C-alpha cells in the first residue's frame, strides 16, 4: 500500500505578495518535497487548496487503511521538505500509519494540524 504526500500548491504565507514571488509558497515547497521523495517508497501529488490557509504551507500524509495526518505551518526550506519525506517514509513503514514521537524528524514537530482515522472497509 502506497503512502502519499499530498501537497497544497496554492498555499501562500501572508507576506507572499510583498516578497514578489513568481510561484506560490506551496509550489516552491512541493518542488522541494518532490525532489526529496524521488527514489523513496512514497509518492507525491499536488492539489489546489486544502482549505488550511491559516496553516500554510499544508501537506497530508496518507495511505489506504492507515491513519492520515495533515501538517502545516511550514516555511519553504530543504529541511522542511526532508522532514516531511522522512516522516512519510516512517508512515509507510508503520502498519497503522502511527509513527512513535521519538521517531519524528525534528522538522515536523509542532506542525501537526489534524489526524484522521482510516475509512472503514466497505461491507
Question: How far is Cα 117 from Cα 85, in angstroms, rounded to an integer?
Answer: 21
The domain spans of the chain are 4-116
**What predicted TM-score, i.e. pTM, was given to this entire model?**
0.94
Q: Tens digits of per-residue pLDDT, 31-64?
A: 999 999 999 999 999 999 999 888 889 999 999 9
**Range list of H helices, 6-120:** 25-37, 78-93
Q: Are 44 and 7 spatial neighbours (Cβ–Cβ below 8 Å)?
A: yes
Please report the pLDDT score of residue 123 as a whole number. Answer: 64
Amino acid at each position: 500500500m502506497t503512502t502519499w504526500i499530498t501537497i497544497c500548491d496554492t498555499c501562500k504565507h501572508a507576506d507572499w505578495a510583498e516578497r514578489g514571488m513568481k510561484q506560490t509558497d506551496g509550489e516552491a515547497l512541493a518542488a522541494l518535497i518532490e525532489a526529496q521523495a524521488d527514489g523513496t517508497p512514497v509518492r507525491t501529488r499536488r492539489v489546489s487548496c486544502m482549505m488550511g490557509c491559516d496553516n500554510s504551507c499544508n501537506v497530508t500524509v496518507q495511505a489506504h487503511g492507515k491513519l492520515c495526518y495533515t501538517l502545516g505551518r511550514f516555511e519553504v526550506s530543504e529541511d522542511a521538505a526532508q522532514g516531511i519525506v522522512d516522516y512519510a517514509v516512517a508512515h509507510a513503514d508503520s502498519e497503522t500509519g502511527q509513527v512513535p514521537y521519538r521517531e519524528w524528524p525534528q522538522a515536523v514537530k509542532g506542525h501537526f494540524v489534524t489526524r484522521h482515522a482510516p475509512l472503514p472497509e466497505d461491507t
